[in-house]
Structure 1
Amino acid sequence: MSTSIDVSSGSMEGKEESPAQKHLKFFKGSQLPPLISNGPPHVLISGAGLAGLFLANLLERANIPYQLFERAKEVLPLGSIMCLTANILPVFEQLGLYDDLMKVSHPSLSTKILSADLKKIGEFNAENDIEVTGYHRALFSRPELYKILLSRIPPHKIHMSKKVMSFLQNKDGVMVRLQDGSTVHGDILVGADGAHSAVRQTLYQEMEKQGKLPQCDTRRMMKGYICMVGTTGPLDPAKYPGVDVPASDGTLLIGNSSSPYAWSMFSVPGNKMCWNVVLQLDVDASEDEQFRNSEWSSITNKRMIEEVYHFKTPYGIMGDLIDATPSEQISRVFLEDILYETWHHMRTVLIGDAAHKLLPSTGQGAVNAMQDAVVLANCLYDLTPLSIDGIKTALKDYREQRFAHVKTQYEASQMGAKLQYGHTWQERILRHFVFNYMPKSVQRNHILKDSQYRPQAMFLPPAPKRGSGPVLAQKPSKRYAEKQTMSGSTMVV
């Protein structure tokens, strides 16, 4: 007798496999025809990061059964900063999460760019963007969003300390093996397990054996920077002017040629401040000679803290902010980036960092992960009847709708990193030109253009149209249109 997880009921109790589960044991030489049903797919999600949590919220509203598996004992992200804009906030309105998010956010109105000795280099101002986009840029500490998303997921659908180790898939289903030896069966596996995705690694190994993996997807992620982040406890407004104002004015400082660092700080609700420090790595230096961790973790950061402790800020020195931050809330990580070509194969699909890792310079990594979840949920909602061919078509449709948009943001994040974190002589010249000679209207038009792409959940009533700017049309849901017709309602797209 083996231990299994009953996906349809969500039970985690050990039980003898049913005949249906035994049918999914992937015995070789089966001549049975592929299974076809009229029900929704059973979705297995690996990873309870933002991509996995957001997808779970969407599937909950779409009435698509799912189970979410997370390797950690608890979902407790470290306190890095996040900024969401018009290209994802409409979905928060659809899901009924917008008001909760606004309670823990500040509108981000401007960011000053200074040199290491506090001389002004440039400024980004978004105060008037709301007239066109309809939304302020919402700035907040990342753990606040996790709390909101977790609150909407039924506890029996999320399983902690359940790391996905490997999986098998065929025309009848997908079987996932967890670290504790248990197995779970479903119709679709979603790899939302981050940049070092175990799902992607297993998928690519399978495809490579079959000769189906493109050569470009065998390369390693690039590591050009390392980042340390933290969120302070409540600060004294007398020492940190403006920290108690319900709007966030951020500051980015860029080091000189002898100090290849950039550091920034933004106020968030609760009189707190999120800060980060980014170091550009020497292209000739090995990773082992720099820092050894490749994922967010609250390990000792003594070496990097000593380097940046006396860096100037508008409030004093970086050491003041570091000292005001609980040590367990300080973490560092390599800033890696890569855009994979392969996002799906048979019953398995990748979203978020598992499919594309963006540098944080434009703040669009998390946004793109959530946009992935929205478009994938739309494709799964229209998946009927349920069959292996239908699944392949749905996953292909998801990738086709998303890839070009992600590629644009991927390239923008690389350019943003050169401007914000770069310290080569070419990058310094580029930064000088952009901040001193490029018309502000060009920068602003580029940002407003990004806001035109705002995928929504097409199985829910659309969010109100906000702002005077145009919005790109997206693929409508045939199933939702049919339901509206049957109920006598009129769908507005």
Structure 2
Amino acid sequence: MSDGPVVMIIGGGIGGLMLGMLFERLNLQYHIFERATELRSLGNAPNSRRRHINCSKCLTSRIISKLGSVMTVGPNILPVFEQLGLLEEVMKLSLPCPGLSIYNHKLDKLGNIMALSAKETGYDSVLFARPRLYELMKKQIPPNKISLGKKILSVKEKDDKVLISCSDGSIYEGDLLIGADGAHSAVRQNIFKTMGELGILPKEDLENFHIGYINMVGVATVDSEKYPQMNDGIAHFATVLGKDNTNWNVAKVPDNQICWALGVQLSPAEAKVQHFRNSEWGPEANETMLKEFESKPCPWGGVMKDIFDATPKNLISKVFLEEKIFKTWHHSRTVLIGDGAINAMQDAVILVNCLHDIGNEYTVENLTVAFQEYYRQRYLRSADLVKGSNTMGKIMSGQTWSERIIRHTLFNFIPNSVQAKISAKVASYRPQITWLPLIENRGTTPVLPQEKPREVLVKKAEAI
């Protein structure tokens, strides 16, 4: 390992692992600190009251990626895995996903949302159980570079270093701290506290989250003879819209597994109450939610209870979905990456690109230049994607009168060609690792040029 700056990454989720993979390739000193006492690929706890910003990049993924148990990736991030030599491994754990089907509570088909093909984008949109990707990424990180049971209590700076103090009494120092532990992270809370005391924290960052859904997710292993959908080579995905602000979903992934999700759409008043109802997050509450859905019809036959019964308890997780885009992404030696798997991975790629461009002199001045460039490249795009993702979620699973009207219009009056144009525009953004050979576009859909560092960043690197 080369002498140079030391990077501390807080959070061992997909975003934290992507950062670790990139720093590993750069031969840079880094360490990942995870609050949980074990790394679980289906959430770090059976129930999670944490936020997920759904910034996924293809039409099918607004529903799929928020589930936690299942994930889809496509041309917006697969070039990065190809650069890292991991594309073949991702394909082995995946199935191509041509799109999703949507049904009403009577299982009358409402319509389809189709994904772009490999001919159009150079990559199939593929679907897999999220734990499989997590395990693949974790294997790329040496075990001695991940510490578990590290709950961050405070973040301070001293003598050109950033120090973190943990609940077990341990203290660590480095040149750069990256918060990859979600919106309610200790890293964010600490820099917000510091900036608040300095009077430089935007007031928007103190506002409450927008909460839309409560979801329960799981991964079942089923008998392939029971469900004909399990016996071909593609990933089937179906979502059913209930008549009482509920929805439920099933998705086929490799190894005779079905990833499923249950959703309850909250009104603004219900969302406020959820902030204070911890009783809704215990084992008994989980069983109550399962019972509410167990008699619902599965779009592939039978009822949802059949799938629940084939799901190990440790592969069931309850998720409180909240959305917000923060104004503040960095301060001094600390920087944050977003939530949501694809969004977090893209953040990680752009951030490490910018750090690479300033060289290995991690002064506050140099880091600020890199952070500002990272923010410039990602903020507006992330904000647009959160907005678009929220809109797509309302169309695909919203239960209000206006949302039903919009959905009916989409499926009955909007040509498929219009959907394809929207998908092509989204698929055109695919940031890559700038310090590795770039992957050429193999599809017919145009791709946005790779972002290059601004002149100020180039001058900073040359000065170093």
TM-score, normalized by length of structure 2? 0.88
Report the Cα offset of residue 463 of structure 1: 2.3
Report the Cα offset of residue 296 of structure 1: 9.5
Q: Does structure 1 residue 242 correspond to structure 2 residue 206?
A: no
Determine the C-alpha separation between the residues in 1 that align with 2:401 and 2:418: 24
Q: Tell me what 1:371 maps to.
A: 346
Report the Cα offset of residue 285 of structure 1: 2.5
Report the Cα offset of residue 169 of structure 1: 2.1
Q: Give the alignment of 1:12-411 within 5 angstroms.
A: 40-78=4-42, 80-126=69-115, 129-169=117-157, 172-233=160-221, 235-256=222-243, 259-285=244-270, 287-288=272-273, 292=277, 301-314=286-299, 315-353=301-339, 365-384=340-359, 385-411=361-387
Cα deviation, 1:303-325, whole Å, max 9, x if unaligned, reads 11111111112221111111111
> 5+ residue gaps in structure 1?
1-7, 10-38, 354-364, 483-493
Report the Cα offset of residue 300 of structure 1: 5.3
* Conservation of the 8 A alpha-carbon contact between 2:213 and 2:321: yes
Determine the C-alpha separation between the residues in 1 that align with 2:136 and 2:328: 31
Q: Tell me what 2:53 maps to.
A: none
Report the Cα offset of residue 291 of structure 1: 8.7
Determine the C-alpha separation between the residues in 2 that align with 1:214 and 1:294: 33
Determine the C-alpha separation between the residues in 2 that align with 1:40 and 1:390: 14
2:269 counterpart SS class: coil
Cα deviation, 1:6-38, whole Å, max 9, x if unaligned, reads xx89xxxxxxxxxxxxxxxxxxxxxxxxxxxxx
Determine the C-alpha separation between the residues in 1 that align with 2:217 and 2:122: 30
Q: Which region of structure 1 is more displaced relative to structure 2, 406-415 or 464-473?
A: 464-473
> 5+ residue gaps in structure 2?
43-67, 460-464
Q: Which region of structure 1 is more displaced relative to structure 2, 431-440 or 267-276?
A: 431-440
2:387 counterpart SS class: helix
Amino acid at match of 1:63: N
Determine the C-alpha separation between the residues in 1 that align with 2:82 and 2:373: 25
Higher helix share: 2
Q: Which region of structure 1 is more displaced relative to structure 2, 78-87 or 267-276?
A: 78-87
Determine the C-alpha separation between the residues in 2 that align with 1:454 and 1:289: 36
Determine the C-alpha separation between the residues in 2 that align with 1:285 and 1:351: 29
Amino acid at match of 2:335: V
Q: Does structure 1 residue 458 correspond to structure 2 residue 434?
A: yes
* Conservation of the 8 A alpha-carbon contact between 2:69 and 2:219: yes
Q: Tell me what 1:4 maps to.
A: none
Amino acid at match of 1:432: H
Cα deviation, 1:233-261, whole Å, max 9, x if unaligned, reads 2x2222111213221121111112xx211
* Conservation of the 8 A alpha-carbon contact between 1:458 and 1:477: no
Report the Cα offset of residue 289 of structure 1: 6.1
Q: Tell me what 1:361 maps to.
A: none
Of the two structures, which has the highest relative contact order with CA contacts closer than 8 Å and spacing of 6 or more? 2
Identity of aligned residues (%): 43
* Conservation of the 8 A alpha-carbon contact between 1:227 and 1:334: yes
Query: Radius of gyration: which is bigger?
Result: 1
Report the Cα offset of residue 282 of structure 1: 2.8
Q: Which region of structure 1 is more displaced relative to structure 2, 41-50 or 465-474?
A: 465-474
Q: Which region of structure 1 is more displaced relative to structure 2, 460-469 or 85-94?
A: 460-469
Q: Tell me what 2:407 maps to.
A: 431
Residues 108, 286 of structure 1: CA spacing in aligned structure 2 closer, same or farther, 3 A cutoff? closer
Residues 291, 431 of structure 1: CA spacing in aligned structure 2 closer, same or farther, 3 A cutoff? farther
* Conservation of the 8 A alpha-carbon contact between 1:87 and 1:453: yes
Report the Cα offset of residue 287 of structure 1: 5.0
Residues 165, 377 of structure 1: CA spacing in aligned structure 2 closer, same or farther, 3 A cutoff? same
Residues 289, 47 of structure 1: CA spacing in aligned structure 2 closer, same or farther, 3 A cutoff? closer
Cα deviation, 1:163-188, whole Å, max 9, x if unaligned, reads 22211125712111112111111111
TM-score, normalized by length of structure 1? 0.83
